[in-house]
């Protein structure tokens, strides 16, 4: 009987982590949809532009969560899983055929991992390095130095803000990201 109790606890814990992962991912999506990115910074309001903003916010959130040891790593994985489950659902809703959804999600998964590695490396160097990475990814066919520098500034501010939140605050999945106006006030 004790075994059954442990199993139920573990299942309840996993479900709680998954639910929190979706809530945290929802916070990243909400932040990424802020009109500031598209109207003020000129991020293309396209599937790719929106993916870039969601990816940046998810990266920052997962980066923060992984500093919390195994519970944070587990929650970060739940955010990642929620993100790519959402990508799968969105592609299907857009009419992408069932046979190609998996391939497209894999391409997005690889893009997210590649960008996350580049973001992490650039953030270790400094804002100018991050601005260069952002410019190459968000505006691949345009010179957007100022917009990229402002997006890097915002990413660093978000990173610092997230670092000040406790694990309990992160798990609450409320007000995780700063309003851009706060950074550029």
pLDDT tens column, 16-47: 889 999 999 999 999 999 999 999 999 999 98
Look at residue 100 and tell me whether its pLDDT is greater than 90.
no
CB neighbourhood size of 86 (10 A): 15
Q: Residue 9: its pLDDT value, please?
A: 38
Q: Residue 42: its pLDDT value, please?
A: 96
142 Ramachandran zone, left/alpha/beta (phi>0; psi -120 to 50): beta
Look at residue 126 and tell me whether its pLDDT is greater than 60.
yes
Q: Distance between alpha carbon 87 and the CA centroid of its chain, in Å?
A: 12
- Rounded CA-CA distance 2/178 in Å is 45
Q: Residue 94: its pLDDT value, please?
A: 76
Look at residue 4 and tell me whether its pLDDT is greater than 50.
no
Residues 6+ apart with CB under 8 A from 26: 173
Look at residue 57 and tell me whether its pLDDT is greater than 80.
yes
What percent of the chain lies above the pLDDT cut of 70?
91
- Rounded CA-CA distance 166/163 in Å is 8
Residue 184: DSSP 8-state: T
Residues 45 and 38: beta-carbon distance below 8 Å: yes
Q: What is the dihedral of CA 60, 40, 139, 102, to 10 degrees?
A: 50
SS3 96: coil
Strand extents, DSSP E, the chain: none
Spell out the domain ranges in the chain: 2-183
- Rounded CA-CA distance 182/185 in Å is 5
- Rounded CA-CA distance 151/113 in Å is 19
Q: Residue 76: its pLDDT value, please?
A: 95
65 Ramachandran zone, left/alpha/beta (phi>0; psi -120 to 50): alpha
């Amino acid at each position: 009987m004790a075994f059954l109790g442990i199993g139920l606890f573990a299942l309840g814990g996993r479900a709680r982590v998954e639910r929190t992962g979706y809530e945290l991912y929802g916070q990243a999506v909400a932040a990424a949809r802020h009109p500031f990115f598209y109207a003020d910074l000129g991020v293309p309001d396209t599937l790719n532009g929106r993916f870039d903003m969601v990816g940046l916010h998810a990266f920052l959130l997962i980066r923060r969560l992984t500093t919390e040891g195994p519970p944070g790593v587990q929650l970060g994985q739940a955010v990642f899983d929620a993100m790519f489950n959402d990508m799968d659902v969105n592609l299907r809703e857009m009419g992408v055929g069932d046979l190609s959804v998996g391939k497209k999600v894999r391409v997005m998964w690889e893009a997210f991992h590649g960008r996350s590695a580049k973001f992490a490396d650039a953030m270790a160097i400094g804002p100018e390095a991050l601005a260069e990475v952002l410019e190459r990814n968000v505006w691949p066919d345009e010179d957007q130095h100022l917009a990229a520098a402002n997006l890097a500034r915002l990413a660093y501010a978000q990173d610092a803000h997230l670092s000040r939140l406790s694990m309990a605050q992160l798990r609450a999945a409320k007000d995780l990201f700063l309003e851009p106006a706060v950074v550029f006030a």
